[in-house]
Chain A
Amino acid sequence: MVHVKPGDLVRVVTKSGIILEGVVLPSTEFTSRGFIVLKLSNGYNIGVSLDDAKVDVLVENYLKLAPSEGPQGTTVIRGDGNMRIAFVSTGGTIVSKVEYETGAVKPALSAGDLIEFVPELKEIAAELVVSDFMRKLSENMTPKDWCEISGEVGKYLASGADGVIVAHGTDTMAYTAAALAFSLRGLGNPVIMVGAQRSSDRPSTDALYNLRACPLIIREAPFAEVVVAMHGSSDDQYVLVHRGVRVRKMHSSRRDAFQSINDLPLAKVYIQERKFKLVNRNYIPRSRNVDLVVMNRFSDKVSLIKFYPGMDCEIIDYLVDRGYRGIIVEGTGLGHIRDECIESVRRATELGVIVAMSTQTVFGRVDLNVYTTGRKLLKAGVVPLDDMLAEVAFVKLSWLLGNYPDEEPSEIASKLVTNLVNEIGGTQSFELFPRWYHGD
């Protein structure tokens, strides 16, 4: 059998006698063994079994297959406006493009593409810095990445940016948003996390709509918070601007997956009309004369666990024994776990591990005063997290333990439930719980 490699132009005579000519493509995770993927001249790909097939290489390396490359650093672009904007790309669907010749996924949006897609950037910015900073899928992000991203964002803010846009994969975007919200102390301008549920190589992508909202937010927003800008509905109608510490990905695939939980979104941006509409009057205002301090250390000794019926209480013991310093529990209902585990919780808190309680119902507050179990948990030293999202509490505790290493657990626990950036303690008005479809 002739040795063929991706990029070669080959002629194949199959076992049924059909003659095919095409370029060999790199195989995918799904390609069967002993098969090659051939791109025919009509653009179609087909899989060809090499068993009993006759293969001739017509031209070696007919198609140049570029090796995947790392992040490319920064590009500075001059625009016609008067604002200074930074665009930090960390990876994810929003910047992913499939090359049609090879099928390779390129995890970066070039500065040129960005300007073409988002004409508002050039109109609004005097200087746009495009930083090809990281090429990571968001499920691979770790607290160490949060640290690096805040460092990069903080750098542009410190040097006078009027706003920073962070392109990020959507799976863990809300975690990174919270991480930035806590680590950028004294933030004077908005930081916008933006992502896409449909990659930007599709004509139906939501990436551009979401991206086009960003310059408008930087120009119009009265708030200086870390926000998430994503589709507000399945329509290309408006982009919602969510507070980074109050947002959650609520659907695995829809464009409008991101929704504010226990809080109103801060604003709506209508792209077609180029209109920015403030929705929530409770925000941290923008200001010029604040001193930004980047506190971007995160402890990796915090765990987030979800209680389930019959959960083995030794899981808590294990975490404590492994040196974990904080455990956020997603309890049931108002914030409960089974009676039997309360002893393990007590042991943890006595050893100085912070155990805090949120709820797996996602919506609503925890309240440990109502039932006996709750009261017992309080007595065992559990910290009730009020209406703070479990993921946000997890990030916040990692951040507190990272930046205040010498403080007593009781001080950390008290900081955990003290509001910093509107992450805890809102008013739960009736409208904040979504109305689901009930037929008719």
Chain B
Amino acid sequence: MEIDYKGIGLKVGLEIHQQLDSRSKLFCGCPTKLAPEDSKYYEVVRYMWLTKSELGELDPAAAYEVSKGRKIVYRVPEGHACLVELDEEPPHDVNRESLVIALAIANALNAQPVDEVYFMRKIVVDGSNTSGFQRTAIIALGGYVEDEEGVVRIQTIALEEDAARKVDEGPGYVIYNLDRLGIPLIEISTAPDIVSPDQALRVAYKIGLIMRLSGRVKRGIGTIRQDLNISIAGGERIEIKGVDKLELIPKVVKYEVMRQLSLLKIRDELHKRGLRPEDVPETFVDVTDTLKDSKSRIVRASLEKGMRVYALPLPGFKGVLAVEVSPGRRFGTELSDYAKAWGGVGGIIHSDELPAYGISESEVLQIYNRLGLDGGRDAFILIISDFEKAERAFKAVIERLKYAFIGVPRETRGANPDGTTRYLRPQPGAARMYPETDIRPVRIDESILMEVRKIYIPKPEEILKILIEGHGLSHDLASQLIRDPLLHLYLDLVEELKGVTSPQIIASTLVATMKSLKREGVNVDKVDYEALREIFEAVGKGRIAKEAIPDVIKAIASGTSVDKALDSFKSLSVEEVEKIVDEVITSNIDTIRTRGPEKSVSLVMGKVMSLVRGRADGAIVNTIVRKKLAELSKQGGP
């Protein structure tokens, strides 16, 4: 689907969270590294409390969780959390190193530090903060990122504490590990000035690049998280949480636009059919009897557990639930999300997707009859669960269906790995912010600013110079690289393989080889960071020749293990190459004699190179071939 993003009034804002690489956490002396998997830990059990007035500000799903008294278990890994993380000791003064790093990044983004930093408490009730709130402070305001499609303003830059890591969750309980709680995060929020999916990627990339160029932020999975807010004219401002891969951003934007456009189309279709919100029934029906002899495994397994089948009749809705809103997701999927989130049920089954799940054509007909509906015009939704859950699930589904007549509901959504999104919760109102009275405000005085100035962050423009002069890349290669998010990968690899592998090999592989292999249809996505690092290390240490890189990548992409792939393209030793050269000369000795050994270099080279197939460096082969042929001409006759 080609979309005219300007025409539909696309507006995107970014919120980027990045962990800072300080020695200690934001409010205590604990390290900022996650605990190893086998760490010894003890557990502490807590519950969260909220007043009604605060519950009133929460979305009902969260309020429901709190009011149910969900048990929260905190794992406290030895050496990675102290009484501060346990909410058993007041926070210490803010970690100065983190503040300085954050201010340096703010400065590189052209933002102005505030005069005095005040930490706030933002209420969080899911238990991910032991205190029940996240500590956060605005440290700088203003700022902007330049882009070819226009300047994107930065609204606020905040310094805050990361939340605890969720380990497990189930009915009535949730388990968190406290190692991540308190790691400093910088949060950069742009204005909704972004107008295209590609611009969103470029701006996120540029902000990410500036942060990493500070050299003082964490790298690796989970250390950076991107949230997006996306709106189109006539649609709604939708928050999308947890886009963890940069490359996914344009897809997420595009799919969200598609989703909003589809929802607006569904709205128009409903109106065209003459339907009204009042036509969505308020009550559902127990239709267990119609499916009691069903061969469907889902149905049978659920009925055996004592669940029932409940149906919501939807007169006039046929076909609407099957409308695709984003790739692989139908309007029915959107409703299913609501049922899951609010009722805790497994999902819904709707008539537009039946017969399926082992529910037969005739059973579908029976349900239509049972509900007094017309199979050619109407639709229905089934939920298989106990009554209490079904009631909550249907209530949410009914409300969502009614909203289909208005358009796009205001939601917080979560990003899926394929770039589509799923419903998480309604958007909360403005969060209540309490002053954090336990932490002294910090005046941003000259002594802090002096430390800030000591962190040199090159401007993206200056990177070109570093790549050319520092890494020895060609101008062409360097300028390709800085326009590409692969630069992060490149810098990581260069950093890790300093003195082992030349940056040119890494750059040309990433920019040229990987791309041409991708064009050939090689699944290069299977070659992850670890695999690349091992390949380049093997080249640097002479285990394989750089000529073998494409073959090794191909092998790994087709499922061979990295070690095996490297072994099968192992460099030949000088003796082995000499042996091959000898063999080639012997088997072509007549031709060589006829032409004269001096004129046979390219002939022998060609044959040898096709035999070693990337397992030897061309220059070495060349030297050996010349040496052998020279010996031959000295010898004279055979």
**A236 contacts the other chain (Cβ, under 8 Å)?**
yes
A175-220 interface with B by 8 A CB criterion: 197-198, 201-205, 208-209
Q: Which of A26-34, A69-77, A124-132 contacts B (4 or more CB under 8 A)?
A: A26-34
A369-385 interface with B by 8 A CB criterion: none
The interface bits of chain B over 318-338 (1 if a CB of A lies within 8 angstroms of the residue's CB, else 0) are 000000000000000000000
Task: Report the bound CA distance from A429 to B437 in whole Å.
Answer: 43
Closest Cβ of chain A: how far from B479's Cβ, in Å?
34
Closest Cβ of chain A: how far from B175's Cβ, in Å?
14
**A61 contacts the other chain (Cβ, under 8 Å)?**
no
Task: Report the bound CA distance from A116 to B48 in whole Å.
Answer: 15
Task: Tell whether, in the assembled complex, residue A202 and residue B141 are in contact, meaning their CB atoms are under 8 Å apart.
Answer: no
Task: Please name all residues of chain A whose beta carbon is closer than 8 Å to the beta carbon of B49 when the two chains form the complex.
Answer: 117, 203-205, 208
Q: Which of A40-48, A141-149, A258-266, A346-354 contacts B (4 or more CB under 8 A)?
A: A40-48
Task: Please name all residues of chain B whose beta carbon is closer than 8 Å to the beta carbon of A279 when the two chains form the complex.
Answer: none
In terms of DSSP, what is the predominant structure of the interface of chain A?
Answer: loop
Closest Cβ of chain B: how far from A209's Cβ, in Å?
8
**Range class of the A interface residue count:** 35 or more
Residue ID in chain A nearest B435 by CB atoms: A103
Task: Report the bound CA distance from A42 to B622 in whole Å.
Answer: 69
Closest Cβ of chain B: how far from A145's Cβ, in Å?
25
Q: Are A254 and B88 also in contact (CB < 8 A) when A47-B114, A100-B434, A113-B51 are?
A: yes
**A159 contacts the other chain (Cβ, under 8 Å)?**
no
The interface bits of chain A over 250-270 (1 if a CB of B lies within 8 angstroms of the residue's CB, else 0) are 000111000000000000000
Task: Tell whether, in the assembled complex, residue A35 and residue B435 are in contact, meaning their CB atoms are under 8 Å apart.
Answer: no
Task: Tell whether, in the assembled complex, residue B433 and residue A234 are in contact, meaning their CB atoms are under 8 Å apart.
Answer: no
**A63 contacts the other chain (Cβ, under 8 Å)?**
no
Task: Tell whether, in the assembled complex, residue B88 and residue A255 are in contact, meaning their CB atoms are under 8 Å apart.
Answer: yes
Residue ID in chain B nearest A41 by CB atoms: B430
Selected from A46, A48, A205, A234, the residue in CB contact (under 8 A) with B86 is A234
Task: Report the bound CA distance from A234 to B43 in whole Å.
Answer: 10
Selected from B87, B116, B141, B437, the residue in CB contact (under 8 A) with A47 is B116
**A18 contacts the other chain (Cβ, under 8 Å)?**
yes
Task: Report the bound CA distance from A223 to B130 in whole Å.
Answer: 35
Selected from A17, A49, A203, A253, the residue in CB contact (under 8 A) with B50 is A203
Q: Are A201 and B125 also in contact (CB < 8 A) when A44-B120, A46-B115 are?
A: no
Task: Tell whether, in the assembled complex, residue A234 and residue B44 are in contact, meaning their CB atoms are under 8 Å apart.
Answer: yes
Task: Tell whether, in the assembled complex, residue B437 and residue A35 are in contact, meaning their CB atoms are under 8 Å apart.
Answer: no
Task: Please name all residues of chain B whose beta carbon is closer than 8 Å to the beta carbon of A237 when the two chains form the complex.
Answer: 45
Task: Tell whether, in the assembled complex, residue A32 and residue B430 are in contact, meaning their CB atoms are under 8 Å apart.
Answer: no
B389-441 interface with A by 8 A CB criterion: 430-435, 437, 440-441
**B142 contacts the other chain (Cβ, under 8 Å)?**
yes
Task: Report the bound CA distance from A14 to B141 in whole Å.
Answer: 11
Task: Tell whether, in the assembled complex, residue B114 and residue A204 are in contact, meaning their CB atoms are under 8 Å apart.
Answer: no
Closest Cβ of chain A: how far from B473's Cβ, in Å?
38
Q: Which of A20, A37, A44 has the most CB of B within 10 A?
A: A44
Task: Please name all residues of chain A whose beta carbon is closer than 8 Å to the beta carbon of B116 when the two chains form the complex.
Answer: 31-32, 35, 37, 46-49
Task: Please name all residues of chain A whose beta carbon is closer than 8 Å to the beta carbon of B156 when the two chains form the complex.
Answer: 42, 44
Task: Tell whether, in the assembled complex, residue A46 and residue B118 are in contact, meaning their CB atoms are under 8 Å apart.
Answer: yes
Task: Report the bound CA distance from A207 to B116 in whole Å.
Answer: 32
Selected from A14, A28, A46, A204, the residue in CB contact (under 8 A) with B87 is A204
B36-87 interface with A by 8 A CB criterion: 44-52, 66, 69, 83, 86-87
**A98 contacts the other chain (Cβ, under 8 Å)?**
yes
Selected from B69, B142, B437, the residue in CB contact (under 8 A) with A272 is B69
**B480 contacts the other chain (Cβ, under 8 Å)?**
no
> Chain A: residues with CB nearer than 8 A to chain B?
14, 16-18, 20, 28, 30-32, 35, 37, 40, 42-49, 98, 100, 103, 105, 113, 116-117, 197-198, 201-205, 208-209, 234-237, 253-255, 272
- Please list 14 pairs of residues, one from A and one from B, whose beta carbons are closer than 8 Å in the complex, sorted by A's number: A14-B115, A18-B141, A28-B437, A37-B441, A44-B138, A45-B435, A49-B116, A103-B435, A117-B49, A117-B51, A203-B49, A203-B124, A253-B83, A253-B89
New A-B contacts (13) at CB < 8 Å, excluding given A16-B112, A18-B142, A203-B49: A16-B142, A37-B116, A42-B156, A44-B138, A45-B435, A47-B117, A98-B435, A103-B437, A113-B51, A116-B51, A198-B131, A254-B88, A272-B69
Closest 8 A/B residue pairs (Cβ): A47-B116, A203-B132, A43-B433, A103-B435, A49-B115, A45-B118, A16-B112, A203-B48
> Chain B: residues with CB nearer than 8 A to chain A?
44-52, 66, 69, 83, 86-90, 112, 114-118, 120-125, 130-133, 136-138, 141-142, 156, 158, 430-435, 437, 440-441, 443
